[in-house]
């Protein structure tokens, strides 16, 4: 049996939707905080069970009979997130789960400028020490978040972002979900670390060029990080602004630049590219 946490989130749900095309729905478990949000999954024949990262006892019960577990990283950041992941890993051990797939990030490290990558490093370490078989899907930044990063650049003709010449190997969340479903239904992924992103990477100048369509040019303006942070602080609480500033700094220093053919190999086709994504968006 394969279980997925965060199954009412974007990646978890999309992965289950690919999985039902590959394996029997009654061998799939959607672990959710709120079963009322999983009516569509239950309608497909998927078992819906309660699985809150903050409730280890219920997690142990809900993981009964599960062989492979996908731990979708929690939406929090910092020590609370690592604590939540610790609950899930311990519950998996207690319940007799054999293999955990974890959604990590490129270049996880204690020194990461993108602070969620610190949590990913600590969680990867916990899994390596757990004695469980593990597979790390080090997912690149989703193409899906790009519209938030480029804002109204196509209207103004200017893309303001503090990323210098740094590049990102963006991937569409749906492609990651399909790759994950393919890995979950094939053998040989025990104790493997996969860099999951595009086989190429793009700078913000490349993004501006790709946004320049129908005769309208978009210019990339590399603004100072301090100006970006000051703007964020007008709209967001300081800890959230810090994550986004860290993301930009990480991009600038190529910490999210990990072009790799693995996702393409899992899909058996090229993943959706930056220009295909922006064309579809337009
Ligand atoms: N690579 C990227 O660009 C990128 C971008 C954003 C996030 N991420 C990371 O990747 C993860 C998956 O992405 P996504 O797009 O699927 O995010 P998402 O749509 O926000 O889904 C997150 C899921 O985590 C669940 N969750 C949060 N706290 C939980 C808890 N205490 N117990 C059980 N479940 C909990 C949520 O449950 P509910 O459905 O009940 O809310 C939701 O289903 C995110 O959680 C985040 O760690 C990566």
Ligand 1 in reach of 13 Cβ (< 6 A) = no
Residue 185 to residue 61: CA distance in whole angstroms: 24
- For β-strands 167-168 and 47-50, DSSP reports them as unpaired
Q: Ligand 1 centroid to 139 CA: how many Å?
A: 13
* Average of per-residue pLDDT across 201-212: 96
CB atoms within 10 A of CB 177: 22
According to DSSP, the residues that pair with 28 across neighbouring strands are 2
Residue 280 has pLDDT above 90, yes or no: no
* Average of per-residue pLDDT across 85-111: 98
Q: Which helix (H) or strand (E) holds 116?
A: helix 116-130
Ligand 1 in reach of 103 Cβ (< 6 A) = yes
Give the model confidence (pLDDT) of 221-256 as tens digits. 999 999 999 999 999 999 999 999 999 999 999 999
Q: Ligand 1 centroid to 8 CA: how many Å?
A: 9
Task: Record the tokens describing residue 127, joined without a space.
Answer: 């899994």
- Which residue CA neighbors atom 24 of ligand 1 most closely? 6
Q: Please tell me the least confidently modeled range out of 227-231, 247-251, 257-261, 277-281.
A: 277-281
pLDDT computed for residue 213 by the predictor:
81
Looking at the CA of residue 51, tell me the nearest atom of ligand 1: 33
Place of tokens 């020194």: 111
Q: Which helix (H) or strand (E) holds 13?
A: helix 10-19
* Buried-exposed string 206-218: b where 16+ CB fall within 10 A, e elsewhere: bbbbbbbeeeeeb
- In order of start, what are the domains of the chain with their CATH numbers? 2-140+171-196+259-272 (3.40.50.720)
pLDDT computed for residue 214 by the predictor:
75
Looking at the CA of residue 103, tell me the nearest atom of ligand 1: 10
Give the model confidence (pLDDT) of 17-52 as tens digits. 999 999 999 999 999 999 999 999 999 999 999 999
* Average of per-residue pLDDT across 157-174: 97
Q: Which of 127, 135, 165 is nearest to 252 (CA)?
A: 165
Residue 21 to residue 34: CA distance in whole angstroms: 24
Name, in order, each residue with C-beta under 8 angstroms of 80's C-beta and a sequence gap of 6 or more. none
Residue 88 to residue 52: CA distance in whole angstroms: 9
Give the model confidence (pLDDT) of 178-195 as tens digits. 999 999 999 999 999 999
Q: What angle do CA 98, 103, 109 make, to 5 degrees?
A: 110
Place of tokens 């974007």: 10
- For β-strands 47-50 and 133-139, DSSP reports them as unpaired
Give the model confidence (pLDDT) of 112-127 as tens digits. 999 999 999 999 999 9
- Which residue CA neighbors atom 44 of ligand 1 most closely? 75
């Amino acid at each position: 049996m394969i279980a997925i946490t965060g199954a009412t989130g974007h990646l978890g749900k999309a992965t289950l939707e690919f999985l039902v095309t590959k394996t029997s729905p009654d061998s799939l478990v959607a672990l959710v905080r709120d079963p009322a949000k999983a009516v569509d999954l239950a309608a497909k024949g998927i078992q819906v069970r309660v699985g809150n990262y903050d409730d280890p006892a219920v997690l142990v019960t809900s993981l009964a009979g599960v062989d492979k577990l996908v731990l979708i990283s929690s939406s929090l950041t910092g020590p609370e997130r690592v604590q939540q992941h610790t609950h899930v890993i311990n519950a998996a051990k207690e319940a007799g789960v054999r293999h955990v797939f974890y959604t990590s990030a490129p270049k996880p490290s204690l020194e990461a400028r993108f602070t969620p990558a610190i949590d990913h490093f600590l969680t990867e370490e916990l899994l390596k020490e757990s004695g469980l078989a593990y597979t790390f899907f080090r997912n690149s930044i989703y193409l899906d978040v790009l519209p938030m990063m480029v804002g109204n650049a196509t209207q103004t003709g200017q893309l303001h972002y503090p990323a210098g010449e740094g590049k990102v190997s963006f991937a569409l969340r749906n492609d990651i979900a399909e790759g994950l479903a393919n890995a979950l239904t094939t053998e040989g992924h025990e104790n493997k670390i996969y860099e999951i992103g595009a086989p190429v990477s793009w700078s913000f100048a490349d993004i501006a060029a790709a946004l320049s369509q129908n005769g309208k040019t978009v210019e990339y303006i590399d603004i100072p990080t301090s100006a970006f942070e000051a703007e964020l602080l007008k709209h967001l609480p300081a800890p959230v602004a810090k994550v986004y500033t860290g993301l930009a700094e990480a991009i600038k220093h190529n910490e999210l630049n990990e072009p790799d053919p693995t996702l393409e190999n899992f899909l058996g086709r090229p993943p959706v590219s930056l220009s295909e994504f922006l064309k579809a968006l337009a």
